Amino acid sequence: MQNVAVIGYGVVGSGTVELFMKNRESISKKLGKDCDIKYILDLRDFPHSPFADRIIHDFDTILNDDEIEVVAEVVGGTTFAYDYTKRLLEKGKSVVTSNKALVAAKGAELLKIAQEHNCSYLFEASVGGGIPIIRPLCKCLAGNEIIKISGILNGTTNFILSKMIKDQLTFSDALKMAQTLGYAEADPTADIEGEDACRKICILGSLAYGKHIYPEYVHCSGITHITLDDIEYASNAGYVVKLIGSVAKLEDGRVSAIVCPRLVAKNNMLANVEDVYNAITVTGDGVGDVLFYGQGAGKLPTASAVVGDIIDCLRHKERPVAIGWEDCDNEKFVVNYKETSTAAYVRIKADDAENMKSALSEMFGKLMYIERSGRPENELAFITPVMKEADLASNLTILSHSAEIACKIRIYG
Amino acid sequence: MQNVAVIGYGVVGSGTVELFMKNRESISKKLGKDCDIKYILDLRDFPHSPFADRIIHDFDTILNDDEIEVVAEVVGGTTFAYDYTKRLLEKGKSVVTSNKALVAAKGAELLKIAQEHNCSYLFEASVGGGIPIIRPLCKCLAGNEIIKISGILNGTTNFILSKMIKDQLTFSDALKMAQTLGYAEADPTADIEGEDACRKICILGSLAYGKHIYPEYVHCSGITHITLDDIEYASNAGYVVKLIGSVAKLEDGRVSAIVCPRLVAKNNMLANVEDVYNAITVTGDGVGDVLFYGQGAGKLPTASAVVGDIIDCLRHKERPVAIGWEDCDNEKFVVNYKETSTAAYVRIKADDAENMKSALSEMFGKLMYIERSGRPENELAFITPVMKEADLASNLTILSHSAEIACKIRIYG
């Protein structure tokens, strides 16, 4: 018998138990050995759960039970989760998790502890929910130099943007709908400000480039400033607005990483990713572009990834799964986004907007102006050429003395 | 030093050597040990290749060299490849391959030999070229019961259909273009008749359901009968035509598998897969739908998968990678497609076509008729309700006495 414990009986935890127990027979067959969930650790009791008899409240029971080989940490956060994970790994117990905040903050340290204690720390569920991405990136694409990873990594913001694009809901109405449907939390900050997507792109970048990328070093902006006017201008120019996380290797060996809304051409596969779905494009020097698509969150999709990791740990218990990265000085490794280049969509407001065009051309170079029906005379929307972020920013600062910068969105690709 | 041999220096073989040698340094770093390609087996000499000194002509050199731990079989076919693979595995050397014909024909036997000799037989490159699909299916999705797998598995036919849809080329003109561009072979039968896609869906189904599905038991039809008229009718009804391979589990434990052109709704992700790209949708009871997309063929994309497998074998040499299935009696395991159900697009020709509508409704039930500009009076195109394949076939046989059945295409989904 191979025994597993689950820490946290919330949405992902209960999904993990449900899926594991539902498919326990076929999982045991795959492993060639019976397996079971022995403990579920939570502060609460669940007297009506079919697994009420497995609920415990004391972490040490798990830590000190030699029968427990694998633990699923699905409690979230970086306090208890960090302490528990560290102590379990130090005891040689493998830990699998959906906890992107912890992996993004402490991945290098925890992976090192796992390696030193001959066990595994796996986190397929931390990025893209149920979408297989961690293992494909590390294993299937191991023969490639990874040139770039870009993706729609947050289902909440993609739902909001989809509703704005398809149903012309305003940002705040779309957010309210997301909250009503349970896709957004009461405090939606981490989603709508891009922090959640940022953790995920840090994890993918760390895996692809072998060194820990910390969220604090990644420029991150959210979608709260996007209006229906911007959505319409974007559409008229052949684009949709998506929140994109990207990480890429530079020629000098450093990486650039950024999370921000972007105008994505309508014929790009990422443009067709709607509602709470996620999609990640990986570009390798051998494989070219590959795309992974599916439900990026939710009880059972996330549980699918957690259970997949549990099975992998049980299979490889005498030899840990080789996935990981080293710690590193991000000051030297992660380039400041201002050194990178981009084209951008800009919307400005100024009383003499029409008369500013020649000054704008002098400032930015050749601009592509976009129209929309009912465009006010005091509004201009245009797409700049590709330019250094630093130059773009300083141009916009200068421009802000004679016009209101109503919106700026980078172009994807 | 870890040594590898490559059998076959054609397109995939030369790509494998190129990618491996280009990224050898980082691969060695990932493995924590130097690695190299020691031999390249081919009948021909390649005096101008930078790797000319590694070319050999005698298979026994590889077989008898204890330094060779992993061999990439990229020679193709089922004669030499089968013999070589068997003998290598019997010697305990792991084999990785892009050879879908061999895996589909002899997978169960070769996987058993690998298991008995404590080595691996891996074939990520056999389906979807560089797209990670084999490992995600077996590992990441291991916690799921796989409900269904469907995909665009052949780049050549997808290119032809894309050219018919987008550029209104006829089938034969599109085929000629594919041949000119090197996407189709001089004898394109295996692609255009669906045989190549059939091998791939057999491999995916075998993996998902743990038992070998043989191509001979899978109903397979190609795209040679599709005309621009059908493409137009399909479009007017909201569909595009794609060659789809599918495998699904039935409630009684058997599987259904089929390869045929299908009408795919334009808002389905698969409808947006164009040119030589492939995409595979996997539906699991936990994860829902996940989709994998990328270049399904080509020198470096396929090499990407081969090299990924080589790295995995080198990593796990003391313990083989657990991927596989058992042999089984397909008479009992694979359901005859006539027992399954589908809706279908049908185009008929008959002098009194308009007068046949009430007879058609009696035969098929409620039909959805489709129009196209310039539809001849003697032509009707319609979509049937979902019905048993056997009933559909017998209805069409009866109908063929009073009308020409110009085209039949199943509906996807």
How much is the pLDDT for B370? Answer: 98
Q: Is residue A333 part of a domain?
A: no
Provide the token pair at B168. 């209104």
Q: Say yes or no: B90 and B144 in one domain.
A: no
Q: Say yes or no: A195 and A286 in one domain.
A: yes
Q: Say yes or no: A171 and A278 in one domain.
A: yes
The CATH number covering residue A316 comes to 3.40.50.720
The CATH number covering residue B157 comes to 3.30.360.10
Which residue from B259, B270, B263 is spatially nearest to B231, judged by alpha carbons?
A: B263
Question: Tokens 């009866």 identify what position?
Answer: B398
**Are B143 and A307 an interchain contact pair (Cβ–Cβ within 8 Å)?**
yes
Q: For residue B306, which residues of chain A lie inside 8 Å, CB to CB?
A: 143
* B131 touching A (Cβ < 8 Å): yes
Q: Say yes or no: B161 and B258 in one domain.
A: yes
Q: Say yes or no: B103 and B27 in one domain.
A: yes
First to last CA, chain B: 51
pLDDT tens column, B289-312: 999 999 988 999 999 999 999 999
Q: Say yes or no: A319 and A363 in one domain.
A: no
Q: For residue A322, which residues of chain B lie inside 8 Å, CB to CB?
A: 315
A287 closest CB neighbour out of B20, B269, B301: B301
Give me the residues of A, 34-93, that contact B with CB < 8 A: none
**Are B142 and A312 an interchain contact pair (Cβ–Cβ within 8 Å)?**
yes
pLDDT tens column, A295-330: 988 999 999 999 999 999 998 877 777 788 999 999
The parent domain of residue A266 ranges over: 134-291
Q: Is residue A378 part of a domain?
A: yes
How much is the pLDDT for A386? Answer: 98
* B148 touching A (Cβ < 8 Å): no
How much is the pLDDT for B137? Answer: 96
Q: Is residue A332 part of a domain?
A: no
Q: Tell me how far apart the alpha carbons of residues B300 and B163 are, in angstroms, rounded to a whole number.
A: 24
DSSP B92-160: T-EEEE--HHHHHHHHHHHHHHHHHTT--EE-GGGSSTTS--HHIIIIITTTSPEEEEEEE--HHHHHH
Q: Is residue A272 part of a domain?
A: yes
How much is the pLDDT for A318? Answer: 72
**Are A141 and B132 an interchain contact pair (Cβ–Cβ within 8 Å)?**
yes
The CATH number covering residue B381 comes to 3.30.70.1150
pTM across the whole model:
0.95
Give me the residues of A, 249-288, that contact B with CB < 8 A: 269, 272, 284-288
**Are A269 and B293 an interchain contact pair (Cβ–Cβ within 8 Å)?**
yes
Q: What are the per-10-residue average pLDDT scores of chain A (413 residues)?
A: 96 97 95 95 95 97 97 96 98 97 97 95 96 95 97 97 98 97 94 98 97 98 98 98 98 97 95 95 98 94 97 84 88 96 98 94 96 96 98 97 97 95
Q: Which of A281, A282, A304, A309 to mutate to test the interface with B (most CBs of B within 10 A)?
A: A304
How much is the pLDDT for A323? Answer: 80
Q: Is residue B333 part of a domain?
A: no
Q: Is residue B334 part of a domain?
A: no
Q: Say yes or no: A28 and A58 in one domain.
A: yes
Q: Say yes or no: A125 and A200 in one domain.
A: no
Average pLDDT, chain B: 96
* Count of domains forming chain B: 3
DSSP A148-171: EEEEE--HHHHHHHHHHHHH---H
Give me the residues of B, 292-331, that contact A with CB < 8 A: 292-295, 298, 300-301, 303-308, 310-312, 315-316, 318-319, 322
Q: Say yes or no: B315 and B376 in one domain.
A: no
How much is the pLDDT for A324? Answer: 85
Looking at the complex, report in whole angstroms how far the Cα of residue B34 sits from the nearest Cα belonging to chain A: 14
Whether the Cβ atoms of residue A327 and residue A212 lie closer than 8 Å to each other: yes
* B107 touching A (Cβ < 8 Å): no
A294 closest CB neighbour out of B291, B307, B312: B291
Q: Is residue A155 part of a domain?
A: yes
> Which residues of B participate in catalysis according to the annotation?
200
Q: Say yes or no: A66 and A53 in one domain.
A: yes
Q: Say yes or no: A141 and A281 in one domain.
A: yes
Using the 3D structure, point to which of B328, B347, B374 is the last residue of a domain. B328
Sign of the four-CA dihedral A86, A87, A92, A94 = negative
A20 closest CB neighbour out of B27, B141, B143: B143
Q: Say yes or no: A225 and A258 in one domain.
A: yes
Q: Which of B25, B290, B300 to mutate to test the interface with A (most CBs of A within 10 A)?
A: B290
